[in-house]
Amino acid sequence: MRKLIVAALAATILATPAMAQKSGPYTGVRVEGLVGYDRPQTNGDHADGLAYGVGLGFDFQTGGAVLGIEGEASDSTAKQCIDSVAIAGDRLCGKTGRDLYVGGRVGAVVGRSTLLYAKAGYTNARNEATYNSNVAGSTIVTSHGTLDGFRVGAGVEQAVGRKAFVKAEYRYSNYEQGVDRHQVVAGLGIRF
């Protein structure tokens, strides 16, 4: 899966100079800030939190079609704790950590300033689990891990002036070990 994504991104980058004479207003580097709702879940249990991050991408417009590559680094406040897991009074907490994403998107320009798009790519998330037995003299055990997965999503981007844009996006990420994530984010960015 990773090799397929890397090959698709490389093909997009290499094809861009050959098509440069037909570029449109959605062509160029873009930088954006993102914030929204995050719902990671495992085996039916879920936590709700605030997702926030930054993204960087390059888009190329030819006619009404837009192709792009993108990367993102984000984090979340989502955390869930369960009491009395193994013994009375103990506590197990799980927290999501940073999430890295790289992928591509394809879209269609609607009207003069609206872009509808779909996206897909590779994602890697960090998580943390903490267990406290709450017994006198006990130690707290913390475990960190990372999960690989894929992300798909769809969104709408609206130009605001010549360089700025706002966007709204839904994305679904599916990771190893039965972990998945639903997010709805809003973004504010600028295109260079």
Side chain identity at residue 8, one-letter code: A
| 106 token code pair | 């394809």
Phi first, then psi, for residue 6 (nearest 5°) are -60, -40
* CA 179 – CA 173 distance, rounded (Å): 9
Q: How confident is the model at residue 3, as a pLDDT?
A: 55
3-state secondary structure of 48: coil
| 157 token code pair | 């981007």
| 109 token code pair | 């320009």
Q: How confident is the model at residue 1, as a pLDDT?
A: 52
Side chain identity at residue 121, one-letter code: G
Helix (H) or strand (E) holding 181: strand 179-191
- Per-domain residue ranges of the chain: 2-191
| 103 token code pair | 């992928």
Q: Where do the H-state alpha helices sit in the chain?
A: 2-15
Is the CATH code 3.40.50.1370 the one for domain 2-191? no
* CA 50 – CA 128 distance, rounded (Å): 17
Q: How confident is the model at residue 128, as a pLDDT?
A: 81
The string of pLDDT tens digits covering residues 17-63 is: 444 444 567 899 999 999 999 998 887 788 899 999 999 999 999 99
Cα three-residue angle 106-108-114, rounded to 5 degrees: 120
Phi first, then psi, for residue 5 (nearest 5°) are -65, -45
* CA 117 – CA 192 distance, rounded (Å): 19
The residues facing 42 across adjacent strands are: 45, 179
3-state secondary structure of 28: strand
Local structure of residue 176 (DSSP, 8 states): S
The string of pLDDT tens digits covering residues 82-94 is: 777 777 778 778 7
The string of pLDDT tens digits covering residues 138-183 is: 767 777 789 999 999 999 999 998 899 999 999 999 998 888 999 9
Question: Pairing between strand 65-76 and 49-62?
Answer: antiparallel
